[in-house]
Amino acid sequence: MLTFLGTGGAFNTERGNTSAYFELGTELFIIDAGEDVFAKLVKKNLFQGKTRVNIFVTHLHSDHAGSLGTLIAYLFIKVFNLDRSKVCVYFPSEAITEFLALQGIKQDMYTFFINRWDELYVDGYEKQPEYVFEPTRHTDELNRNNETNCYGIEFSLKSDFGFFYSGDTCEFNQKLMNTYAFDYIYHEVTSTEGATVHFQYNELLALTKDMPADQKKKITLMHLDSDFDIEKAKADGFSIAGEES
């Protein structure tokens, strides 16, 4: 369902920044825009023929938002002829507008959707997708006004498909234990035992030990460190982002 532009953790330059996209109707949807993402989007020529580009951001760490400013400027100036209604940014906190403003990306260059949930009207697509940002624990340094500023995203197209994208987090959302509610679950993971900002692989194994194989396979691992044992994770029954069959 999602096509990944990169599947690595912050320091994994081989796999690149974890980021993914999908297309609906004539619109492009991108989740996260880390440092190396802008170049990949341009190289793949993904903006060709699109009537709108929607960028969903999970949090403001550089491996998730490092090329966001350049991406917005490029879309506004080069792709959509200064029409900010075609460049849409989704994040549940004003923090992102401050982050962008310091880079010279003012709100007259994009349309900002701060809603925690909303319906989308997509060009060339007859249904209304829905999304919800789920606050999640990652690192306290990103919190703002005592509020967590990291999110997972649940996206649903009712009868067509639905997925959950964890963002970076040290917890497994309880909703995900009911795997039947999702077609795809994309989750970050780390093999570092005792890690406090990312979700430990051993915890995931324990949580899913009684899960039927077909459900477990829906859990697609992403944000992988260079020392993550991919072959073991596959043997354990999980899918790997970018390698889904």
Interior/surface letters 19-38, b for 16+ CB within 10 angstroms, e for the rest: bbbbebeebbbbbbbbbbbb
Q: Which strands, in side-by-side order, build the sheet including 219-222?
A: 117-119, 130-135, 151-156, 162-165, 184-188, 219-222, 239-240
Nearest 5 degrees, angle CA 67-CA 69-CA 75?
Answer: 100
Collect all residues with Cβ–Cβ distance below 8 Å to 111 and sequence separation of at least 6. Answer: 84, 85, 87, 88, 89
The phi and psi torsions of 48 (rounded to 5 degrees) equal -55, 125
| Nearest-approach distance from CB 32 to Zn ion, in angstroms | 8
**In this complex, which beta carbon is closest to Zn ion, that of residue 11 or of residue 180?**
11
**In this complex, which beta carbon is closest to Zn ion, that of residue 27 or of residue 168?**
168
| Nearest-approach distance from CB 140 to Zn ion, in angstroms | 12
| Nearest-approach distance from CB 120 to Zn ion, in angstroms | 25
How do beta strands 162-165 and 117-119 pair? unpaired
For residue 199, CA distances in Å to 193, 195, 219 come to: 9, 7, 13
**In this complex, which beta carbon is closest to Zn ion, that of residue 27 or of residue 63?**
63
| Nearest-approach distance from CB 17 to Zn ion, in angstroms | 7
Q: Is residue 236 within 8 Å of 205, Cβ to Cβ?
A: yes
User: Which parts of this chain interact with Zn ion (CB under 5 A)?
Assistant: 10, 61, 63, 168
| Nearest-approach distance from CB 19 to Zn ion, in angstroms | 10
**In this complex, which beta carbon is closest to Zn ion, that of residue 120 or of residue 221?**
221
| Nearest-approach distance from CB 12 to Zn ion, in angstroms | 10
